């Protein structure tokens, strides 16, 4: 399926030792895809549909929706915000210059595998305690600071960036598995919302950006 490649690695100073290396191209990639597939199967088995329903109700009842995450989880949050906008929700990404003030009738959705990300926890606490907004957390840690302060929590199973699994870490380092799982889960939620709202791809296209 995959060929082999050779790489010469020069060591030492001028004209030093040359080491020829060979490895099977694609073996690690295929293993990574297997692990992702296993993770999706685990998600299907472990997902609490009561949590999902509560999350969907919170989205539907919110006047405005705000999303946030740090690092790669922030990219997942932005992707979800885009799809919520396509579905017709009034949605904003925390930290953007055009993001308005959050209010009591609004929902803040946070994405954090550990549930302890400092910036996410601090902003969530401010929205909850000072504004009175509703909080929804997508996390792996039900005992985290973020989960304990949130009104709605969706738990996603899998390795987080603080767990030490040498085999898994060699192909999916740090928070990779959580970030991928969160992205897949939220895209699945978009499909569920589309179905419930009886929207089609053409409906979403009407809100898709044209200034590209």
Identified catalytic residue from 105, 116, 179, 205 = 179
91 φψ region: left (φ > 0), alpha (ψ -120 to 50), beta (else)? beta
Name which of 160, 53, 156, 151 is nearest 109 in CA terms: 151
List the beta bridge partners of residue 111. 69, 138
Q: Residue holding tokens 């549930």?
A: 115
What are the phi and psi torsion angles at 136 (to 5°)?
-130, 130
Count of all residues that appear for the chain in the document: 212
Q: Report the half-sphere exposure of 172 (CA within 13 A, side-chain side).
A: 26
Distance in angstroms (rounded) separating the CA atoms of residues 198 and 5: 51
Distance in angstroms (rounded) separating the CA atoms of residues 91 and 212: 20
Distance in angstroms (rounded) separating the CA atoms of residues 106 and 66: 8
179 is catalytic: yes
Residue 120, both tokens: 């996410």
**DSSP letter (8 states) at residue 15:** T
Active site residues: 179
């Amino acid at each position: 399926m995959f060929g082999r490649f050779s790489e010469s690695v020069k060591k030492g100073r001028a004209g030093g030792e040359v080491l020829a290396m060979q490895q099977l191209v694609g073996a690690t990639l295929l293993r990574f895809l297997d692990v992702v597939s296993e993770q999706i199967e685990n998600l299907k088995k472990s997902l609490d549909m009561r949590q999902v329903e509560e999350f969907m109700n919170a989205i539907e009842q919110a006047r405005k929706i705000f999303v946030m995450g740090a690092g790669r989880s922030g990219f997942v949050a932005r992707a979800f915000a885009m799809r919520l906008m396509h579905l017709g929700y009034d949605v904003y990404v925390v930290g953007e210059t055009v993001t308005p003030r959050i209010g009591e009738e609004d929902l803040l959705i946070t994405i954090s595998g550990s549930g302890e990300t400092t910036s996410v926890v601090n902003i969530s606490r401010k929205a909850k305690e000072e504004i009175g907004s509703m909080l929804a957390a997508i996390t792996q840690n039900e005992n985290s600071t973020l989960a304990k302060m949130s009104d709605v929590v969706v738990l996603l199973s899998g390795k987080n960036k603080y767990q030490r699994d040498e085999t898994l870490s060699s192909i999916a380092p740090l928070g990779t598995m959580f970030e991928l799982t969160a992205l897949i889960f939220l895209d699945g939620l978009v499909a569920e919302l589309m179905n419930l709202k009886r929207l089609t791809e053409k409906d979403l296209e009407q809100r898709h950006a044209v200034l590209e």
